[in-house]
Amino acid sequence: MKTDDFVAMLAAGAEPVPRRAVSRRLWWALGLSLPMALAIMQTEYGVRRDLVQAMFWPMFWVKVLMPACIGVAGYVMVQRLARPGVAVRRAWLGVALPVLAVWVLAGVAWATMPETARMPALMGRTWRTCVFNIALISLPMFVAALLALRGLAPTRPAAAGAAAGALAAGAGAAVYALHCPELTAPFLAVWYVLGMALPMLVGALIGPRVLRW
């Protein structure tokens, strides 16, 4: 069979991909996995008892919105990396800028607080478990995002895996914030950032294996 005939045979009956197919697939993945993440948070840790009161504190919203912005940026990157030839453009800034902002906030807090308060502000009460708690809550969304990507066409699997990690970690950290008692910028700048970096690193490492097509 000639090459032209073979290509024509493969193209026969080909139909355009439905518009928003990638978005729908990702929304299905999030819709199924986000309740699982909330269930893990509630079952393993529980919502903080003073949640209503905490909602009036600015640092509570920093703790929620910083990872939420990273999750949104991860979603945008996954959506673009799921399609061949689509540039990520400046979506990565949505991951970098919230981290930079909380680092600046932590630096200012560190410089202005008494020396005796610095280490308690950095370590808090939960530094030993925070990173892994975020990773655990992120796990359902991480798996769901990778499964969604497997049915699409990422041509940069390491970057796509890292973006899936950013999506899952940002959403997972925002969910974990409903339980977490820590409210200092230095704590967030170190332990929350590490907790979100872990799924991104794992995604970048396993992406070439699980997203190969």
Q: Is the pLDDT of residue 198 over 50?
A: yes
Output the CA–CA distances (angstroms, integers) from residue 42 to 38, 72, 145, 209, in the order listed: 6, 23, 22, 33
* CA–CA separation, 143 and 150 (whole Å): 11
* CA–CA separation, 143 and 91 (whole Å): 22
| pTM of the complete model | 0.87
Mean pLDDT (whole number) for 51-75 = 95
Mean pLDDT (whole number) for 169-186 = 96
The DSSP string of 90-156 is: TTTHHHHHHHHHHHHHHHHHHHHS-HHHHHHHHHTTTHHHHHHHHHHHHHHHHHHHHHHHHTS--S-
pLDDT single digits (tens) 91-118? 899 999 999 999 999 999 999 999 999 9
Mean pLDDT (whole number) for 176-201 = 96
Mean pLDDT (whole number) for 134-162 = 92
Mean pLDDT (whole number) for 203-210 = 93
- Could you tell me if 163 and 81 are in contact, meaning their C-beta atoms sit under 8 angstroms apart? yes
Chain position carrying tokens 């540039």? 87
Chain position carrying tokens 């969304």? 141
Structure tokens at 11: 């193209």
* pLDDT attached to residue 177: 97
11 or 213: whose pLDDT is higher? 213
* pLDDT attached to residue 179: 96
